[in-house]
Amino acid sequence: MMNRNWYSNLGFGSLYLSTFLVVGFIAVILWDLIYKGAPSWNWTFFSEGPQEGMTKGGIFPVIVGTFYVTLISTIASLPLGIGTAIYLQEYAPDNLLTRLIRSSIRNLAGVPSVIFGLFGLVLFVQHMQMGTSLLASGLTLGLLTLPTVVASTEEALRNVPQSYREGALALGATQWEVIWHQVLPAASSGIWTGAMLAISRAAGETAPILFTGVTFYQRFLPQSLFHEFMAMPYHIFILSTQHHAIEIVTPIAYGTALLLLVQILILQMIAFYLRYKQTSTRR
Amino acid sequence: MRDRVNRLMALIIQACALSSVLVLMGIFLMLLINGAMLFKEVSVFDFLTGMTWNPGAFDGPAYGALSLIWSTILVTIGAMLMAIPLGIAMAAFMSEVAPRFWRNLLKPLIELLAGIPSVVLGFIGIELIGPLLQKYLGLSTGFNALNGSILLCLMALPTIISLSEEAIRAVPFSFKEASYGLGAGKWETLIKVTLPACTSGLIASSMLGLGRALGETMTVLMVTGNALQFPHGFYDSVRTLTSTIAIELGEVASGTTHYFALFAVASLLFCLCLIINIAAEAIAAKFRYRQT
Amino acid sequence: MSQMKLEAKGLDLFFGAKHVLKKVSIRIPDKQVTALIGPSGCGKSTLLRCFNRMHDLNPMAKLKGDVLFEGQDIHLSKAAELRQKVGMVFQKPNPFPQSIFDNVAYGLRLSQKLTKSELEYKVKAALSQAHLIDELPDLKASAMELSGGQQQRLCIARAVAVSPSVLLMDEPCSALDPISTRKVEELVLQLKSDYCVVIVTHNMQQAKRVSDLTAFMYMGELIEFSETRQLFDKASHELTRNYLEGSFG
């Protein structure tokens, strides 16, 4: 009996320990980013461009670049992804082909991001002759997030009770009216949750923009869709691995990493709020 | 009018779906076609078993990807050795031990970890983990396979934890009741009844975590040192398939053998990820089937 | 013989390989309440849904034979137009997650261009027809906060707001308490002066209380269809008698 108790305590102890390890690790990472990143946050950091070989100044054009490229990717992936999900959930017959499409989209969510970068290089930069540009990068990131958008939208549509559809149809609504008036509004918080996750993913990715348009330094903000741009993830990468004076630029890299983290935290909190709102109003 | 709108929208929606599918098929075809071009000049056997990867050499470039493949496997195995036990243990903690309040606190934390961009984790690897490894293991540099494994473990953990927790929670309560009824304790029930009942779910979640780690680029690129060599252990510097693409694609001219070689590497990676994902999905589907 | 409101002629329906309606022929008159009864799974709800083409949604459903509305094949007109004339109330109350007003106004807004005051007038008329107007002071409140019985009457108001000529009711009281059930039944009896009402019910007492005609279905077949009193007092078919006596169900 004694033995059995000891064994059980050891077992549960290991569960506690594992959780403690994981949580501790996350805490250390967050603390490190905040502790070393926060001191470099000041007005200049946000409002000015890099100066003196990036050792001084701020990251204003870097923030703007990330904003632009994320915006483009969202404009590209949201309508296409939501449309695809609507097709799969509301129009497509439940047959082998539909299941095949659905499973291939799901599998694409697991394709390494660097491969999307390759595809963006071949399709947008080379074949469609966009060159290395904001547009090419934005579209590449759009493709990367497409499976996420499709999957989360499908999930949201699936959760809309069939009775809403039937109710509207029975009142003489056409299929599109059912979708537009009843299904999409009821699914909207789920769709937006997915969109927030897609945006935060697009903003943080590096590999897909590496060959399609990001540049480590540019004196001006991108003036058109066909210009190259700076971006926060790439800025961190360059400052921490490729810069000639890594010691000096480390605080700037920390500041940038913290900003990226805060941005993702905000997007996730919006997503969390939307989900919370949905579960509390439904029923 | 209403009818016309209805039909027009049906067309637009179909066009969306069609173009998504085309684009996604396009990725597959682009990779395979470009990758296949390499094998006009290099045999598949040499590509998969060659020890030297030196595409830049003037006299006889070499396209042997074995060291890259082994590097990838090494780093990934290291990550999984840490992530699977940690992840499943934490999932079990969250679903079976933790009170509701703690679960509600841990879940967003895990989601936050999933949201941290790989480049930020790589940065942490450089600034925090690398120096620690260097100091406490007495190495000349902290940039090695172990560092990469630790970071990949962090990247795979959210997938493993959240999917495992789902699987464990899906085990019917009646199973546990039956076990308690026979006089088993909480721990025995967990180990002998609950976890075995969702084994396929746990395997599927681990495989999806593996797929995530396998395809990760930035973290390994930043912390593994990227030396072109055949690694012999976790303290060696490694260069994975993904880092090779990231490092070399920027500097190669399109249409050269080297260029195609990178696509061949990407195709290999793509196929590996696809196989793992499809297998995981099949296992998970079997799990769901048994549940109902 | 006068023209029937709804008619099915030799109707067969398959869900994939399953044969769920077998050669059903039925003629449903106007301004009467027709009840469809039978054990669960007998196809009574399925038959009801044929009359406003709700099976269009299900790609597995294959229909053979004719369904007529006012003598016209329903598959010749547009589904949306048909459903405006043949309204439906479902088993579980299914208000949209919107305000009470918007729920009732939804069907009106779809098909008619109305001014604000016309819309308001019609919505209130529909609500008073369903005896809801006095219970609900605030039409801007969410429909999801109403009680189950109120929700179901709201769904009836929603259906009658577009002035259909037929009202199909699919076990409208099965999710309601006895008091709400009584209110809905009273409503049905009043509605029959304006509409052709077809009601599916598993409750034989209810069929007796509200319907003029009753059809008994069993295993996808229409066994017997006659005046309610006749069917309940002296059913001609053995199966019907057994069912009414409660030997199965």
Q: pLDDT for A170-221, tens place per residue? A: 999 999 999 999 999 999 989 999 999 999 999 999 999 998 988 888 777 8
When pLDDT is cut at 50, 70 and 90, the band that residue A244 belongs to is confident
Q: State the Cα–Cα distance between residues B38 and B258, nearest whole angstrom.
A: 8
pLDDT at residue B139 tops 90:
no
Q: Higher model confidence: residue B85 or residue B26?
A: B85
Look at C159 and A170 and tell me if their CB atoms are within 8 Å.
Answer: yes
**pLDDT tens across C152-206, in order?**
999 999 999 998 999 999 999 988 889 889 989 999 999 988 899 999 998 888 9
Look at B3 and C110 and tell me if their CB atoms are within 8 Å.
Answer: no
pLDDT at residue B189 tops 80:
yes
DSSP state of B265: H
**Interface test with chain A among C106, C145, C162, C163, by most A beta carbons within 10 Å:** C106
Q: What is the mean pLDDT of residues A75-80?
A: 94
Distance of CA A252 to the CA centre of its chain: 23
State the nearest Cα–Cα gap between B224 and chain C, in angstroms: 54
Structure tokens at C53: 């083409």
H or E element at residue B122: helix B118-124
Structure tokens at C197: 């009402």
User: What pLDDT score was predicted for residue C1?
Assistant: 45
Q: What is the mean pLDDT of residues C221-230?
A: 92
- Burial (CB count within 10 angstroms: exposed 0-12, middle 13-18, buried 19+), residue C111: middle
Residues of B in contact with A196 (CB under 8 A): none
Are the CB atoms for A148 and B20 separated by under 8 Å? no
- Report yes or no: B4 at the C interface, CB cutoff 8 Å: no
Q: Express as a percent the part of chain A with pLDDT over 70.
A: 97
Total Cβ atoms within 10 A of residue A219: 7
User: Which residues lie across from C18 on neighbouring strands?
Assistant: C15
Q: What is the mean pLDDT of residues B229-247?
A: 88
User: Which residues lie across from C73 on neighbouring strands?
Assistant: C68
What is the identity of the amino acid at C169?
A: M
Q: State the Cα–Cα distance between residues A282 and C168, nearest whole angstrom.
A: 27
When pLDDT is cut at 50, 70 and 90, the band that residue A283 belongs to is very low
Look at A11 and B190 and tell me if their CB atoms are within 8 Å.
Answer: yes
User: For C78, which residue in chain B has the nearest alpha carbon?
Assistant: B3
- Report yes or no: C109 at the B interface, CB cutoff 8 Å: no
User: What pLDDT score was predicted for residue B288?
Assistant: 65
**pLDDT tens across B27-78, in order?**
888 888 999 988 888 888 888 888 888 887 777 788 888 889 999 999 999 9
Q: What is the mean pLDDT of residues C123-147?
A: 89
**pLDDT tens across B73-92, in order?**
999 999 999 999 999 999 99
Q: Give me the phi and psi of B171, to 5 degrees please.
A: -65, 125
Look at A172 and C162 and tell me if their CB atoms are within 8 Å.
Answer: yes
Q: Express as a percent the part of chain C with pLDDT over 90.
A: 57
Q: Which of B178-182, C23-27, C224-228 has the lowest mean pLDDT?
A: B178-182
User: For B1, which residue in chain C has the nearest alpha carbon?
Assistant: C111
State the nearest Cα–Cα gap between C123 and chain B, in angstroms: 22
User: What pLDDT score was predicted for residue A246?
Assistant: 79
Residue B5's alpha-carbon distances to A93, A167, C33, in angstroms, are: 21, 20, 37
Are the CB atoms for C86 and C51 separated by under 8 Å? yes
Q: Give me the phi and psi of A173, to 5 degrees please.
A: -80, 145
- Report yes or no: A261 at the B interface, CB cutoff 8 Å: yes
pLDDT at residue A31 tops 90:
yes
- Report yes or no: B3 at the C interface, CB cutoff 8 Å: yes
Are the CB atoms for A211 and A125 separated by under 8 Å? yes
When pLDDT is cut at 50, 70 and 90, the band that residue A281 belongs to is low
Q: Which of A92-96, A120-124, B222-226 has the lowest mean pLDDT?
A: A92-96
Q: State the Cα–Cα distance between residues A23 and A31, nearest whole angstrom.
A: 12
Look at B217 and A111 and tell me if their CB atoms are within 8 Å.
Answer: no
User: What pLDDT score was predicted for residue A102?
Assistant: 86
Query: Is C6-245 CATH 3.20.20.10?
Result: no
User: What pLDDT score was predicted for residue C247?
Assistant: 61
In chain C, which ranges are E strands? 6-15, 18-28, 33-37, 61-69, 72-73, 86-89, 166-170, 196-200, 213-218, 221-227
Q: State the Cα–Cα distance between residues C108 and B93, nearest whole angstrom.
A: 54
Q: Give me the phi and psi of C216, to 5 degrees please.
A: -105, 130
- Burial (CB count within 10 angstroms: exposed 0-12, middle 13-18, buried 19+), residue C39: middle
Distance of CA B65 to the CA centre of its chain: 19
Residues of C in contact with B3 (CB under 8 A): 78, 80
State the nearest Cα–Cα gap between C82 and chain B, in angstroms: 13
User: What pLDDT score was predicted for residue B151?
Assistant: 95
ipTM confidence:
0.90
Distance of CA B185 to the CA centre of its chain: 36
Structure tokens at B71: 């590097």
Residue written as tokens 């309560």?
B173
**Interface test with chain A among B18, B20, B113, B254, by most A beta carbons within 10 Å:** B20
Residue-averaged pLDDT of chain B: 89
Are the CB atoms for A163 and A202 separated by under 8 Å? no
| Helix (H), strand (E) counts: chain B | 14, 2
Total Cβ atoms within 10 A of residue B282: 13
Tell which A residues from 162 to 191 touch B, by Cβ distance under 8 Å. 174-177, 179-180
State the nearest Cα–Cα gap between B60 and chain A, in angstroms: 26
Tell which B residues from 206 to 265 touch A, by Cβ distance under 8 Å. 208, 211-212, 214-218, 222, 242, 245-246, 249-250, 254, 262-263
**Interface test with chain A among C62, C98, C110, C112, by most A beta carbons within 10 Å:** C110
CA quadruple C70, C73, C74, C75: dihedral, nearest 10: -170
Look at C159 and A171 and tell me if their CB atoms are within 8 Å.
Answer: yes
Structure tokens at C69: 């509305």
Of C149, A35, C34, whose CA–CA distance to B127 is shortest?
A35
User: What pLDDT score was predicted for residue C122?
Assistant: 93
Q: Higher model confidence: residue B76 or residue B291?
A: B76
Neighbours of chain A (3+ CB pairs under 8 A): B, C
Q: In 3-state terms, what secondary structure has residue C70?
A: coil
Q: What structural domains does chain B harbor? A: 54-291 (1.10.3720.10)
Residue ranges of the alpha helices (H) in C162-200? 178-191
Q: Give me the phi and psi of A265, to 5 degrees please.
A: -60, -45
H or E element at residue B67: helix B66-92
Q: Which member of C80, C97, C144 has the closest CB to residue A173?
A: C80
State the nearest Cα–Cα gap between A166 and chain B, in angstroms: 17
The two beta strands, C86-89 and B62-63, are: unpaired
Distance of CA B280 to the CA centre of its chain: 12
- Report yes or no: B120 at the A interface, CB cutoff 8 Å: yes
DSSP string for A242-281: I-TTHHHHHHHHHHHHHHHHHHHHHHHHHHHHHHHHHHHH
pLDDT at residue B2 tops 90:
no
Listing from the earlier edge strand, what are the strands of the sheet with C33-37?
A: C86-89, C166-170, C196-200, C33-37, C213-218, C221-227
pLDDT at residue C58 tops 50:
yes
Look at A171 and C110 and tell me if their CB atoms are within 8 Å.
Answer: yes
Are the CB atoms for B276 and B207 separated by under 8 Å? yes
Q: State the Cα–Cα distance between residues C33 and B221, nearest whole angstrom.
A: 75
What is the identity of the amino acid at C183?
A: K
Q: State the Cα–Cα distance between residues A81 and A69, nearest whole angstrom.
A: 18
Q: State the Cα–Cα distance between residues B130 and B141, nearest whole angstrom.
A: 7
The two beta strands, B53-54 and A56-57, are: unpaired
Are the CB atoms for A51 and A120 separated by under 8 Å? no
State the nearest Cα–Cα gap between A157 and chain C, in angstroms: 15
Burial A98-111 (b: 16+ CB within 10 A, else e): beebbebbbbbbbb
Per domain, the residue ranges of chain C are: 6-245
User: Which residues lie across from C214 on neighbouring strands?
Assistant: C35, C226
Q: Is the pTM of this model over 0.80?
A: yes
State the nearest Cα–Cα gap between B39 and chain A, in angstroms: 19
Q: State the Cα–Cα distance between residues A154 and A166, nearest whole angstrom.
A: 19
Q: What is the mean pLDDT of residues A49-63?
A: 82
Residues of C in contact with A171 (CB under 8 A): 83-84, 87, 106-107, 110, 158-159, 162
pLDDT at residue A23 tops 50:
yes
Cβ-based contacts under 8 A for chains A and C = 67
- Whether the CA torsion C228, C233, C237, C240 is positive or negative: it is positive
